Chain A
Amino acid sequence: MKKKITWKSVLWILLLILIIIIVAFPLYWMFIGAFKTKNEFFTNPPVFSLKPLRTNAFQVALFGIGGKGLKDSLIIASFSTIISLFIGALAAHGIVHYHIGKKNLIFIFLVIQMMPPVSLAIPLFLMFNELKLLDTYVALIISNTVFNLPYAIWLLTGFYEEIPESILEAGKIDGASNLTIFTKLVLPLVKPGLMATGFFTFIFGWNEFILAFTFCRTKVKPLTVAIPTMVGSDTIVWEQVYATSIVAIVPVLILAIFMQKYLIRGLSFGAVKE
């Protein structure tokens, strides 16, 4: 069967290609940038081709500042995720299935999640300063949890609400204790929700900048803070910036591939459920 080629379908294809190029080009620009030499950034016309694979910049990105950043980002994002997920999984169960503070509590959590981070960064800075916690993992794990925990609870309540009440009722009639119902019935059913939520809190922690930028000095430097340190007062080591950017992006992309099904739900704060 031959399809008729109409001007409409040609226009459609062209527009689609244009959109793909618009999304792809900045990524391509970053990718080739990681292999350029300093001078190749400052030519007109710009260098658009991939140069022979120079890996100098990746030395820094993987083993120098970037390597340290990778480790710090991983520690901060992981611990904040574990705390948010653990506490969030309990709280969401209480809110949804035991109707504890359903309206007020959820609204308070939502408001905290929506707060501009600057308004929390300043008082937290003063507190961490008093407690001698600046430039430590603890400060960053705590401050990321401020935003991740409300988010986790908010997203998880959506998943918990999808569990049919009848299953819980059946468990109760069979004489299961509250704890057994939670661990044996509820948790297995919300496992996908827990994974999706954990994925998002991890990404938020991984991509977070302003809190890390405020509380970090020298000892702790996650990737998002490490990259701007490659910007000197008058020069920017662009190839290192881009190589480290790639290192910062790849883990998130790998996770996103596995969690693709939940991307929209997570990014929309559970507003769209498919």
Chain B
Amino acid sequence: MLYKRNKERTLTQSQIDKRFGLSLVLPAIVIVIIIAVFPLCYALFLSFFKYELATSIPKKFVGLNNYIRVFSDARFWNALKVTAIIVAGGIILQLAIGLIVALLLNKEFHGKKIVTAFLLIPSVIAPVVVGFIFRMMFNDRYGPINYFLSLLHISPVSWLSKPIPSYFAVMLANAWEWFPFMMLMLLAGLQSISKDQMEAAELDGCNDLQKFFYVTLPNLWNIILTVVLIRAIEDFKMFDLIWVLTAGGPGVATETLNIYTYKQGFNFFSIGYALALAVVQTVLTFFIVKTMYTRIKKKN
């Protein structure tokens, strides 16, 4: 009798708990459905329509036409190429500088805290501001960067008006903002490498370079994968910096998928087509993230 009552009570108690838990999560689910899931479904729906906002022609169902157009659009392929270059190149740049600085800071010295805190400033600044700082700095004729290069007897570079230099301008400005983040993540990883391993390597007669490749790097591998994943997602989303710095120019040289989609939507007002581009881009992000995510999980 007593046993039975007890069982009933625990059952209802767990039901109460379940209900309480659900009511906690429900507001978030409802909000996300209204402001994220619904708009995304609406976007998917409209991507099957020809919908030109600039004209008064009503939207017309065109099936997969927008998607066919995406894959036969040279400007889309260009945007894909530009995005790949800027994301991959940018991450290599951020990682290389981040790793070097992390190695530099991986010892005790006076003012270490202040230096690391100072180096993090770029990462919290609005990318729009970073864009404007570098837009003037990269100026062909009056910018300080070309001035410094001239001191080194290097002839001026047309940073923002030639395709190849403009890639570098975008990647450098972005690296300036984000290498400190990479650096701090890697520094945390470096500090967690056990002293014993290092000493063992030293006893075995490893030089600094060997220690780096056989002890440091393998230990850092997981953190490197994590930061690369985070930065890949974020750089894939990058819009503000490029918009301010080059607006996708010169021509379409730095026009990433984001910029191109935005222009189709709000400069050319081809809503249906822009949404097809957005859907393709979202699916692409999803798969990149998924593969990288599972790969990291496997490594762990």
Binding site for B on A (CB under 8 A): 12, 15-16, 19-20, 22-27, 29-30, 33, 41-46, 48, 87-88, 90-91, 93-95, 97-101, 105, 108-109, 111-112, 114-127, 142-143, 145-146, 149-150, 153, 178-179, 182, 203, 206-207, 209-210, 213-214, 223-224, 227-228, 238, 241-242, 245, 248-249, 252-253, 256-257, 260, 263-264, 267-269, 271-272, 274
Contact = CB atoms under 8 A, between A and B. Distances in A.
Contact of B129 (A22, A120, A245, A256): A245
B40 A94 contact: no
A30 B129 contact: yes
Contact of A267 (B24, B123, B233): B123
The A interface, classified by DSSP as helix, strand, loop or mixed, is helix
A115 B181 CA distance: 21
A256 B184 CA distance: 15
A268 B185 contact: yes
Contacts of B185: 264, 268, 271-272
B127 A209 contact: yes
Contact of B32 (A100, A150, A242): A150
A116 B136 contact: no
Nearest to B105: A16
A227 B126 CA distance: 11
Contact of A26 (B23, B137, B258): B137
A98 B162 CA distance: 57
Given A48-B144, A207-B127, A227-B129, A123 B121 contact: no
A46 B143 contact: yes
B66 to A, nearest CB: 13
Nearest to A182: B24
Contact of A119 (B22, B40, B119, B230): B40
A91 B27 contact: yes
A209 B126 contact: yes
A27 to B, nearest CB: 7
Contacts of B36: 112, 120, 146, 150
Contact of B180 (A23, A249, A252): A23
Given A27-B121, A46-B144, A100-B24, A116 B104 contact: no
Q: What 10 A-B pairs come out closest when comparing CB atoms?
A: A98-B21, A94-B24, A119-B278, A91-B28, A207-B126, A94-B25, A123-B39, A209-B240, A123-B43, A178-B20
15 contacts: A15-B104, A29-B137, A44-B142, A91-B25, A94-B25, A95-B25, A115-B237, A116-B261, A116-B285, A120-B43, A123-B42, A125-B266, A149-B32, A179-B20, A267-B123
B25 A105 contact: yes
Nearest to B13: A172
Contacts of B227: 268
A264 B184 contact: yes
Contact of A42 (B28, B142, B281): B142
A130 to B, nearest CB: 11
The B interface, classified by DSSP as helix, strand, loop or mixed, is helix
A274 B188 CA distance: 8
B153 to A, nearest CB: 15
User: Most chain-A CB neighbours within 10 Å: which of B20, B100, B115, B244?
Assistant: B20
Interface string B84-117: 0000000000000000110011000000000101
Interface in B1-37: 16-18, 20-25, 27-29, 31-32, 35-36
B104 A16 contact: yes
User: Most chain-A CB neighbours within 10 Å: which of B125, B181, B275?
Assistant: B125
Contacts of A115: 40, 237, 282, 285
A118 B284 CA distance: 14
Contacts of B40: 115, 119-120, 123
Nearest to A83: B31
Given A118-B262, A124-B39, A97 B21 contact: yes
Contacts of A118: 239, 258, 261-262, 265, 278, 281
B188 A23 contact: no
Contacts of B117: 257, 260
B57 to A, nearest CB: 16
Nearest to A223: B126
B244 A228 contact: yes
Contacts of A93: 21, 24
A91 B127 contact: no
B101 A19 contact: yes
Nearest to A147: B36
B237 A111 contact: no
Contact of A123 (B16, B120, B275): B275
Contacts of A253: 121, 124
B126 A100 contact: no
A260 B120 CA distance: 9
B147 A46 contact: yes
B10 to A, nearest CB: 11
Contact of A263 (B22, B120, B127): B120
Nearest to B280: A119
